[in-house]
Structure 1
Amino acid sequence: MDTRISIPALNPAVSADSDPKTALILAAEIAFARDGIEGASLREIAARSGQRNHHAVQYHFGTREALVQAVFDYRMDQMEAARAAMLRAARETGRIDTTRAIVEAIFLPQIALIDEFGDHSYAAFLNQYLLRYQGKRFGEFGERRAQHLDEILHLLRMRMPDLPDPAAQRRLITACFMFLNILNIHLRASDSAEENFEVAVNDTIDQIVLTMEAPYTP
């Protein structure tokens, strides 16, 4: 069976000029990725986003924590259309009951999330976010979950009926770090990279599938 992945096309760049809150979110993503969630300067984020008000973050979001959650939610919502399309395609091709199709729908849309410099800053941000906000229940990563992601995670949980929630959540978090590592390694990857990006992603998806399907020993 051909299990090669199809890398999603990159989304058009979002214009930060038309929406101050979106501009702050995109600037924060880059700052958090570079300087850390705690280390990033809110004043610098405001300046990077083009805001004259040094307290723009507090005005629009109230707190650092609210801005962090806004970055996460913004990117989750951006991936909804791709995930819906992948769910539909999996059903049409009879792959909806396979762990691989479900895993692909969770992770592959993240490839299209690039910043204004062509980097996967979201991957570096999400790495930190998951260390801070992972819940104990399966699929718990924040205050809310996008509709299609929720459906996909439900399908994945059904593929692991023998795992208690803490173990299932641990495997999901481990899988997230595995995939994010590929995106972080291949920041601005060029033709001279030692390993082809699609090959690396495909191999990582294979590893994640094995992680999810591995037997559980209480």
Structure 2
Amino acid sequence: MIRTFGFPELLFILDGAKWTVLMSLAAFLFGGLLGLLVALARTSKIRPARFLALCYIQLFQGTPLLIQLFIVYFGLPIIGIRVELWLALITGLSLHASGFLAEIWRGSIQAVPEGQTEAARALGLGYISRMRDVVLPQAFRISLPATVGFMVNLVKGTALAALLGLTELTRAGQLMSNITFEPLKVYATVGLVYFAICLPLTLVSSRLERRLNARG
């Protein structure tokens, strides 16, 4: 039976958007934590750590996100590790995010003037204190635009979860388009929902950047 695109169909799409937001937040959180560790390894004075971090970044930047998701979801069971679809998607997206965020933050850490680090050493600050209190706060300010830009791309990248069967925003739109035979209305709505999710990120980033620059 063909249905007309209306309020119930809109609610179904918004329910899919909920999973898009949750996936994006989880992937950014876990990917950010791992990415920070990789960025620190990439900027360390230990050569093997720098090499391994570089290989890690190149691996996840040099392969498509879809392939990474497929490997996690279909590859892990081959070696005896069975994961639920939701966990596989979060894992794949987090690994993908960590590779890109690591490189963004590596560049930001190296963009902090060397004199800041030398001054911190002169004050007797250890590595952890130097990074936490001197380098990383400045690197955060430098990396903010690129970090938010990647976050927006990550939100849009969750659309690939539809290919693995999760009913997120894009998949919800596909289902409603098949039921209503009104693809223009459906996908225009899906596009507006994506826009509504991503726009606040850009606005908050701009406001935060202005505040940080004012304090600087």
Check whether TM > 0.5: no
Of Structure 1 and Structure 2, the greater helix share is in 2
Relative CO higher for 1 or 2, CA cutoff 8 Å, sep ≥ 6? Answer: 2
The structure having more radius of gyration, on CA atoms, is 2
Relative to the length of structure 1, the TM-score reads: 0.30
What is the TM-score when the length of structure 2 is the normalising length? 0.30
